[in-house]
């Protein structure tokens, strides 16, 4: 056992990277759920984003265009969900699950010609002398743009929900769609926009995996990250700041577990790989002491009684 | 302008018409997809829907529909009870795994003794295992108000870890040269969930699925508890005023769905699958959620939906091996089928009206 | 059982399950556990299947099904293959062992070949596997010579004999050329999860490991190593993973199933197919070391090539004594070679490896 071989700065730095995909996807889903819609298709949208981003980045040579395409791809799939649930008034749980099935199939078909290719590299941001600060430089100033975008996104969503009129409308729609409708808000329009935003975020999260985290395309490569993102939203009890915390916890435990193993610490690996999930349940129990709860209209179908 | 208008009550006609209608649209859209991939669309659709039922080897595929559909129906029936009461058990996959582990565990503990009591004990153990796994989110919800969607989902991952651990450790076949996986229960007569009548695909799990359908139908339509479940889902406040104990409903619904999922896992591991292996679970618990909704949470609907899903799986496999259709295309096709079924469902509950400009 | 005979009888009557006649093409069918696009295990089996087409042209017909779950689904897929007229069926994952034997018992006229298993309950079932540990020996040698930190890493999937053989072989040959070397094993408990594989690689790199080999299926470990600008090297696993040449991928272990598949299908055509348990390696061309790139110094490359030649010629066995087990007890005496039975069920580390095999 040699704990000294674990460098805390490196550990924290890799934690930031490991948590980014689920963070971005979760913050999008949070907005969706705050509008009163439950979209269980995050995994499907992530994997679609992963292949759209990968394919476009490879074809154009530009990771930036790739990420743009990933957001687009995720949003298009989300639109499908939006049409189903908002216009055809279909059940949201079932539609979301169907979306995942569809997305996994679609991505596999789209990705057939992209197996085994290396995408163009996404550069790390250059912070000049900042990166050379001992400790902090490695933790904070050594990443690619998307890591910071993820953090910025969390801040933006937090501020939007708390301080802006748009956030107020979103929450109103999510809490009581009939009242919001009576006040003259366009419930369906608001929800559709939230759904599209959620899809775009999921797409970005997926592309982060295929373009930066792993850089490659393989079928089913998101391997359940979408489900984790969904879990995060509930874990965070629909609060933006806590999503960040949750993402670090999830990313953190896996990274820590692997680091401990590599350091030769005798740990029951098979139990430790279950630990993020057990800890989530534990934290959830503790947090349910405070009375934050789901948006009241979550998952319920809205139909204007004109 | 098009306008949706809620029907005073769901249209009977459309309740029966929408599913075939959705299947028809899926055939057209799916055919287009297959044509795009360079396959003969008519042949592909015919292979998926016709071949398993009436094709040359239908004598083999028809029983297989039961084998594939039974676990889906069994799990979906349990889930539908909870869903009706607004209790969201998303973790049936985990309960399925644990039921299989406890069921197989009991059977293997008796090896190589032969006795008729072993199989009933395994059934009991499987149901209890699934029940216990579902009790975790149920008790947490009752005691702490913890969200059951998340807890049950998290427990799926824990169960998968447990499964790997068991397949590599405790339940590993001692004569297996260190390879992972348990003994083959199909070769252990007392523990084998064999076909009741050979060649029909009818094993105890299939029988249980049919019984569960009848049981759920009676429960929901003829029994006080069923009424309370429905009331809790449709009008929680009214339910509370009329003296329904919400904690009891939570425990009953999650417990029942867990027990049924556990049973499904146990019947699968002791029958068609035969052994506990690292990747024993193949997503039945998640697919069953879709089946529950496709069947509109109605027992008979679930039975039909389960068989339809089984048909697309088996037909899809045939299309893959005979026509070389990629597995991904089949997956997309299933997704489409679900989309269309969900989308046309609207016609049952709503009427489409043309509104004139002045009325708007 | 009566019904089962019924099926087999019907199939026979239809003339589909009999051996291929001269003019009819032989049909070879493949059951895959993952998607063909996994870029590793399943991809390589599919390459082997395609090689059949290239070798035999119109004389052979191939069919396959990917992402087949192990268990009941596998039985159905196998039966369906038989009904559709397959003459020989290859089941390419350990988890298909029970299903393969069961279906083989029902259709005695169809040949079954099960990869990586040990059960041959009927005369029409063969098993085949490859001696991947021969490849691990070569890359272990390269790892031992090239590490600067004297820490080399192994990303392990599950604690099963095949993986443990690989770990031991890799370590032994690194230690032989570099007694200071320390092996870091990380168990990820998955065959395929690119993000987790990348995390495991990152964890090892952060702790000073500079040579990484993976026993999982994706290219994620190489991609992660590539971020270190040449300071960390790794190896292609299952497929060549040529996209990461010349570094970090400095060599690779390729599963090449084509020679075996061609041989066995040929045997079916000739009517000479017989049950066997094949465990082939470098001599048969089943385990191939992909191009050793210029990132490897010329002398190291020459040594590695010499070892490949010796193993291929049958002159060298990677597990040759004297060897001790981890607990210090004797395993192989001077000059003694490990027997296949012990290797196939290997459940111990050799001396010098720290840590325990998870139980």
Q: Per the CB < 8 Å rule, is A218 touching C209?
A: no
Tens digit of each residue's pLDDT (9 = 90 or more) over A79-104: 999 998 988 888 888 888 889 888 98
Q: What is the pLDDT of residue B17?
A: 80
Q: Are A214 and C195 in contact (CB under 8 A)?
A: yes
On the question of a cis peptide bond just before residue B42, with omega within 30 degrees of 0, the verdict is no
Question: Which residues are C235's β-sheet partners?
Answer: C251
Q: What tokens appear for C43 in the block?
A: 């991809």
How many Å lie between the alpha carbon of B293 and the closest alpha carbon of chain A? 6
Q: What is the pLDDT of residue C20?
A: 43
pLDDT of B77 above 60: yes
Average pLDDT over chain C, rounded to whole?
Answer: 88
Tell me the ipTM for this assembly.
0.81
Local structure of residue C245 (DSSP, 8 states): T
pLDDT of A233 above 50: yes
Which segments within chain C are labelled E, that is strand?
Answer: 26-31, 60-65, 88-91, 111-115, 125-130, 151-156, 182-187, 211-214, 233-238, 249-255, 277-280, 287-290, 323-324, 330-332
- Average pLDDT in the B115-128 region? 92
How many angstroms separate the CA atoms of C351 and C321, rounded? 12
pLDDT band at A235 (very low <50, low <70, confident <90, very high): confident
Give the closest residue to C62 by CA, choosing from C262, C341, C322, C219.
C262
Tens digit of each residue's pLDDT (9 = 90 or more) over B13-59: 777 788 788 888 988 999 998 998 888 889 999 998 888 888 888 88
Instruction: Specify the 3-state DSSP secondary structure of B145.
Output: coil
Neighbouring C-alpha atoms within 13 Å toward the C-beta of B341: 26
Average pLDDT over chain B, rounded to whole?
Answer: 86
How many angstroms separate the CA atoms of A103 and A45, rounded? 6
In chain B, residues 40-69 whose CB comes closer than 8 Å to chain A: none
How many Å lie between the alpha carbon of B46 and the closest alpha carbon of chain C? 16
Q: What is the pLDDT of residue B334?
A: 85
Residue in C63, C71, C94 closest to B273 by CB: C71
CA distances from A294 to A25, A43, A174, B149, B261 (A): 18, 21, 9, 12, 27
Tens digit of each residue's pLDDT (9 = 90 or more) over C39-57: 788 989 999 999 999 999 9
B326 CB within 8 Å of a chain A CB: yes
The mean-pLDDT minimum among A37-41, A87-91, A262-266, C241-245 falls in: A262-266
C326 CB within 8 Å of a chain B CB: no
Tell me the chain A residues in contact with residue B345 when contact means C-beta distances shorter than 8 Å: 88, 90-91
pLDDT band at C68 (very low <50, low <70, confident <90, very high): confident
Pairing of strands C330-332, C323-324: antiparallel
Share of chain B above pLDDT 70, in %: 96
Q: Per the CB < 8 Å rule, is B275 touching C98?
A: yes
Q: Per the CB < 8 Å rule, is A271 touching B290?
A: no
Residue in C193, C239, C358 closest to A270 by CB: C358
pLDDT band at B3 (very low <50, low <70, confident <90, very high): low
CA distances from C117 to C93, C262, C359 (A): 8, 20, 21
C65 CB within 8 Å of a chain B CB: yes
Q: What is the pLDDT of residue C1?
A: 38
Q: What is the pLDDT of residue A139?
A: 76
How many angstroms separate the CA atoms of A281 and C352, rounded? 40
C137 CB within 8 Å of a chain A CB: no
Q: What is the pLDDT of residue C23?
A: 63
Tell me the chain B residues in contact with residue C82 when contact means C-beta distances shorter than 8 Å: none
B60 CB within 8 Å of a chain C CB: yes
Q: Are A211 and A119 in contact (CB under 8 A)?
A: yes
Q: Are C211 and C234 in contact (CB under 8 A)?
A: yes
Q: Per the CB < 8 Å rule, is C6 touching B199?
A: yes
Q: What is the pLDDT of residue B22?
A: 85
Residue C249 φ/ψ, nearest 5 degrees: -75, 105
* Residue of higher predicted confidence among A254 and C103: C103
How many Å lie between the alpha carbon of C247 and the closest alpha carbon of chain A? 13
Q: Per the CB < 8 Å rule, is B147 touching A234?
A: yes
How many angstroms separate the CA atoms of A60 and A40, rounded? 32
Tell me the chain A residues in contact with residue C198 when contact means C-beta distances shorter than 8 Å: 213-214
A271 CB within 8 Å of a chain B CB: yes
Chains touching chain C at 3 or more Cβ pairs under 8 angstroms? Answer: A, B
pLDDT band at C15 (very low <50, low <70, confident <90, very high): very low
Distance of CA B208 to the CA centre of its chain: 13
C231 CB within 8 Å of a chain B CB: no
Q: What is the pLDDT of residue B354?
A: 67
Q: Are A218 and A107 in contact (CB under 8 A)?
A: no
Tens digit of each residue's pLDDT (9 = 90 or more) over C239-255: 888 888 888 999 999 99
In chain B, residues 168-227 whose CB comes closer than 8 Å to chain C: 168-169, 176-181, 184, 186, 198-199
Q: In what order do the strands lie in the sheet with C125-130?
A: C60-65, C26-31, C88-91, C111-115, C125-130, C277-280
Residue in C1, C84, C347 closest to B322 by CB: C84
Using a 10 angstrom Cβ sphere, with 0-12 exposed, 13-18 middle and 19 or more buried, the burial of residue C324 is middle
Q: What tokens appear for A213 in the block?
A: 């985290």
List the single best residue of B157, B309, B345, B346 to mutate versus A (max A Cβ within 10 A): B157
C134 CB within 8 Å of a chain A CB: no
Q: Are A81 and A26 in contact (CB under 8 A)?
A: no
pLDDT of C193 above 70: yes
B174 CB within 8 Å of a chain A CB: no
Local structure of residue B8 (DSSP, 8 states): S
pTM of the model: 0.84
Neighbours of C29 (CB within 10 A): 26
How many Å lie between the alpha carbon of A87 and the closest alpha carbon of chain C? 35
pLDDT of C38 above 80: no
Q: Per the CB < 8 Å rule, is A94 touching B329?
A: no
How many angstroms separate the CA atoms of B255 and B246, rounded? 14
- Helical pair A165-175 and A145-163, crossing angle rounded to 10 deg: 70
Q: Are C192 and C136 in contact (CB under 8 A)?
A: no
Q: Per the CB < 8 Å rule, is B290 touching A270?
A: no
pLDDT of B95 above 90: yes
Report the Cα–Cα distance between both ends of chain A, in Å, rounded: 69
Q: Are A74 and A226 in contact (CB under 8 A)?
A: no
Share of chain A above pLDDT 70, in %: 95
Q: Name the one residue in this structure whose structure tokens are 């051996």.
A: C19
């Amino acid at each position: 056992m040699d704990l000294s071989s674990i460098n805390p700065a490196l550990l924290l730095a890799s934690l930031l990277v490991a948590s980014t995909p689920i963070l971005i996807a979760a913050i999008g889903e949070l907005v969706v759920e705050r509008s009163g819609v439950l979209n269980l298709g995050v995994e499907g949208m992530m994997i679609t984003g992963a292949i759209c981003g990968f394919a476009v980045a490879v074809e154009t040579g530009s990771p930036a265009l790739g990420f743009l395409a990933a957001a687009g791809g995720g949003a298009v799939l989300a639109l499908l969900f939006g049409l189903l649930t908002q216009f055809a008034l279909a059940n949201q749980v079932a539609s979301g699950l169907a979306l995942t099935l569809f997305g996994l199939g679609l991505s596999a078909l789209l990705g057939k010609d992209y197996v085994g290719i290396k995408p163009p590299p996404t550069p790390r941001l250059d912070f000049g002398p900042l990166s050379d600060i001992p400790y902090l430089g490695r933790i904070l100033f050594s990443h690619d743009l998307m890591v910071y975008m993820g953090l910025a996104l969390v801040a933006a969503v937090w501020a939007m929900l708390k301080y802006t009129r748009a956030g107020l409308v979103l929450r109103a729609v999510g809490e009581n769609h009939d009242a919001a409708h009576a006040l003259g808000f366009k419930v369906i329009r608001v929800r559709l926009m939230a759904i599209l935003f959620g899809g775009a975020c999921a797409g970005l999260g997926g592309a982060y995996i295929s373009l930066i985290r792993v850089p490659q395309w393989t079928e089913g490569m998101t391997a359940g990250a979408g489900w984790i993102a969904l879990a995060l939203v509930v874990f965070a009890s629909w609060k933006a700041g806590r999503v960040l915390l949750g993402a670090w916890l999830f990313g953190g435990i896996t990274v820590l577990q692997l680091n401990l193993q590599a350091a030769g610490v005798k740990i029951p690996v098979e139990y430790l790989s279950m630990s993020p999930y057990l800890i989530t349940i534990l934290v959830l129990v503790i947090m349910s002491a405070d009375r934050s709860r789901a948006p009241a209209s979550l998952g319920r179908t809205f139909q204007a009684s004109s | 302008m098009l306008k949706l208008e809620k029907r005073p009550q769901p249209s009977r006609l459309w309740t029966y018409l929408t599913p075939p209608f959705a299947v028809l649209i899926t055939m057209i859209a799916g055919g287009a997809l297959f044509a795009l991939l360079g396959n003969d669309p008519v042949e592909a659709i015919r292979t998926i829907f016709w071949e398993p039922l009436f094709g040359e080897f239908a004598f083999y595929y028809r029983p297989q529909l039961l084998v594939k559909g039974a676990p889906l129906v069994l799990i979906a029936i349990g889930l539908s009870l909870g869903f009706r009461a607004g209790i969201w058990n998303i973790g049936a996959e985990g309960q399925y795994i644990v039921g299989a582990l406890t069921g197989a565990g009991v059977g293997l503990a008796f090896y190589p003794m032969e006795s008729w009591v072993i199989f009933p004990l395994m059934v009991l153990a499987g149901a209890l295992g699934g029940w216990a796994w579902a009790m975790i989110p149920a008790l947490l919800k009752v005691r702490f108000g913890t969200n059951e969607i998340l807890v049950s989902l998290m427990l799926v991952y824990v169960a998968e870890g447990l499964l790997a651990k068991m397949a590599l450790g405790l339940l590993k076949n001692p004569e297996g040269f260190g390879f992972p996986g348990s003994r083959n229960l199909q070769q252990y007569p007392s523990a084998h969930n064999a076909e009741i009548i050979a060649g029909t695909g009818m094993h105890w799990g299939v029988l249980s699925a049919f019984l569960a359908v009848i049981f759920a139908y009676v429960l929901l339509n003829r029994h006080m508890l069923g009424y309370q479940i429905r009331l809790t889902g449709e009008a929680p406040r009214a339910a509370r005023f009329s003296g329904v104990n919400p904690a009891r409903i939570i425990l009953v619904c999650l417990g029942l769905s867990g027990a049924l999922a556990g049973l499904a896992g146990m019947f699968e591991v002791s029958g068609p699958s035969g052994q506990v292996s690292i990747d024993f679970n193949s997503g039945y618990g998640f697919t069953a959620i879709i089946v529950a909704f496709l069947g509109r949470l109605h027992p008979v609907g679930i039975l039909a939906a389960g068989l339809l899903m089984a048909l697309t799986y088996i037909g899809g496999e045939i299309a893959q091996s005979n026509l070389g259709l990629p597995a991904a295309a089949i997956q997309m096709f299933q997704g489409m089928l679900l989309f269309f079924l969900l989308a046309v469902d609207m016609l049952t509950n709503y009427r489409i009206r043309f509104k004139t400009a002045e009325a708007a | 059982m009566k019904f089962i005979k019924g099926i087999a009888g019907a199939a026979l009557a239809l003339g589909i399950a009999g051996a291929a006649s001269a003019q009819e093409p032989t049909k070879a069918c493949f059951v895959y556990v993952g998607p063909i696009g996994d870029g590793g295990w399943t991809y390589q089996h599919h390459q082997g299947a395609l090689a059949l087409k290239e070798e035999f042209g119109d004389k052979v017909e191939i069919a396959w099904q990917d992402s087949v779950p192990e268990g009941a689904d596998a039985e159905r897929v196998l039966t369906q293959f038989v009904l559709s007229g397959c003459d020989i069926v290859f089941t390419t994952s350990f988890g298909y062992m029970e299903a393969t034997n069961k279906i083989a018992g029902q259709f005695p006229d169809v040949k079954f070949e099960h990869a990586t298993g040990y059960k041959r309950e009927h005369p029409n079932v063969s098993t085949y596997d490859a001696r991947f540990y021969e490849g691990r020996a070569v890359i272990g040698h390269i790892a031992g010579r090239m590490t600067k930190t004297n820490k080399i890493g192994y990303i392990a999937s599950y604690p099963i004999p095949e993986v443990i053989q690989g770990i031991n072989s890799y370590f032994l040959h690194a230690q032989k050329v570099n007694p200071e070397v320390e092996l870091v094993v990380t168990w990820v408990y998955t065959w395929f999860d690119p993000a987790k594989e990348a995390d495991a690689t990152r964890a090892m790199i952060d702790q000073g490991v500079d040579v990484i080999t993976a026993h999982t299926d994706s290219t994620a470990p190489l991609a992660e190593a590539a971020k270190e600008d040449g300071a960390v090297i790794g190896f292609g696993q299952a497929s060549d993973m040529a996209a990461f040449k010349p570094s970090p991928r400095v060599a690779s272990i390729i599963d090449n199933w084509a020679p075996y598949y061609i041989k066995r299908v040929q045997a079916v055509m000739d009517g000479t197919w017989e049950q066997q348990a094949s465990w082939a390696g470098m001599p048969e061309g089943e385990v191939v070391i992909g191009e050793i790139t210029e990132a490897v110094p010329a002398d190291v490359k020459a040594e590695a090539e010499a070892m490949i030649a010796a193993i291929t010629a049958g002159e060298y066995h990677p597990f040759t004594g004297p060897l001790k087990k981890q607990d210090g007890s004797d395993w192989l005496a001077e000059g003694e070679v490990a027997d296949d039975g012990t290797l196939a069920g290997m459940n111990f580390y050799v001396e010098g490896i720290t840590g325990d095999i998870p139980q």
